[in-house]
Amino acid sequence: MGDGIDLSIADGIARITLARPEVGNAIDIPLARALLAAAIRCETDASVRCVVLTGQGRLFCAGGDVSTMRSAGDGLPELLAELIAIVHAAVTRLARMPKPLLVLVNGPAAGAGFSLALLGDVVLSARSAHYTAAYGAIGLTADAGLSWLLPRLVGLRKTQEIILTNQRIKADEAEAIGLVTRTVDDEMLASEGDAVAARLVAAPVAAFGAARALLLESFDGSFEAQLDRELRSMVTAASAEAREGLAAFFAKRPPDFTGT
C-alpha cells in the first residue's frame, strides 16, 4: 500500500503493518491516510474475517511524527487538526468494523501508538514493549481514543497517573493491570499471533462483530437499554452462523463458520 502502511490479505486474515521503522513508525499525514484506507478496505472486504495490526522494526509506534509537528511552526494547530481527524477516522473504522481486531505490540508504544496498541479485542505484547502516554512531555493532550480506552481498562485513578505523570509501563505490568491481554517473549510474538488469528478467522465473524458493537455501547445508557441491545443483537445473529453452530453441536463435530 505504501506511505508507511503495508497491507496484505490472505486466507481471511488482513495484516496491517505500520511500516516507517526508520522513525519508529511515527504517524505523519501520509501514514494516517494509508491507515484509513487500510481500515476501510478491511471493513468492506467480505473476504476479511480477522484483522491483525502490528509494527515493523524495533518500535510498535512512537505516536505522532514530532519532526513534522516541529517544522509546522505557527501552522501546528492546522497540522494537528488534519492529522488527528484522519487518525480518528481510521481508529473509528477499526473499532467499529464487524470483525475482530488482534494487535501484536512488537515494541514500545507511545502517544497515539499507545492508543492503537489498546484498540484490539485481543492484544499480545512483546516482553520488550513498554507503554507511555508521552503527550505531556511535548505539551499536548491525548488523542486516538486514549482518554476513552484507558479509564475503561484500568480505571480513572490509574489513568490519571499514566497520563499526568507520563508513567512508563513495562510489559509485565501492562498485563497485570489489564492494558494488554497477554505478554509473550519477543521471539514468540509472531507464532502466538498466528495461533490467535487462526482461531479468530475460524470463528463466527458476524456474531463477533455484533459482540464488538455491544461492548462498545455497554458504557452508554442504562442497564435496561443494554438488555434491549442484547436482545436485538441476538435475534439479528440468529442466522446461518447460528444454524451451523447448533448443527455442529448436536452432530458432535467442530463448526465450520467460514462457509456461512
Last residue of a domain, one of 162, 178, 201: 201
At residue 1 the predicted structure's pLDDT band, cuts being 50, 70 and 90, is low
Average pLDDT score over residue span 31-44: 96
More confident residue, 219 or 253: 253
Q: Do residue 220 and residue 132 come from a single domain?
A: no
Q: Do residue 211 and residue 187 come from a single domain?
A: no
The answer to whether the CB of 241 falls within 8 A of the CB of 206 is: yes
Last residue of a domain, one of 201, 222, 238: 201
The answer to which of 56-65, 70-79, 93-102, 229-238 has the lowest mean pLDDT is 229-238
Q: Is the pLDDT of residue 259 over 80?
A: no
Q: Do residue 194 and residue 240 come from a single domain?
A: no
Determine the structural domain holding residue 19 and report its residue range: 5-201
List helix spans (H) across the chain: 29-44, 66-72, 76-96, 112-118, 146-154, 156-164, 171-176, 189-201, 205-217, 223-237, 240-251
Give me the chain's average pLDDT, please: 90
pLDDT tens sequence across 41-51: 999 999 999 99
pLDDT tens sequence across 50-82: 999 999 999 999 998 888 888 888 888 888 889
Dihedral, CA atoms, 204, 208, 209, 213, nearest 10 degrees?
160
Percent of the chain with pLDDT over 70: 98
Q: Do residue 153 and residue 186 come from a single domain?
A: yes
The burial class, CB within 10 Å (0-12 / 13-18 / 19+), for 156 is: exposed
Specify if 126 maps to a domain: yes
Among 125-129, 165-169, 241-245, top mean pLDDT goes to: 125-129
Q: Do residue 243 and residue 194 come from a single domain?
A: no
List, in order, residues 6 or more apart from 46 with CB less than 8 Å away: none
List, in order, residues 6 or more apart from 54 with CB less than 8 Å away: 15, 16, 17, 18, 60, 103, 104, 105, 106, 193
- Residue 118's closest CA among 77, 79, 175? 175
Specify if 239 maps to a domain: yes
Q: Do residue 246 and residue 144 come from a single domain?
A: no
Specify if 104 maps to a domain: yes
The CATH number of the domain holding residue 72 is 3.90.226.10
Specify if 259 maps to a domain: no
The three-state secondary structure class of 170 is strand
In a 13 Å sphere around the CA of 28, the CA atoms on its Cβ side amount to 18
Domain total in the chain: 2
List, in order, residues 6 or more apart from 68 with CB less than 8 Å away: 28, 29, 79
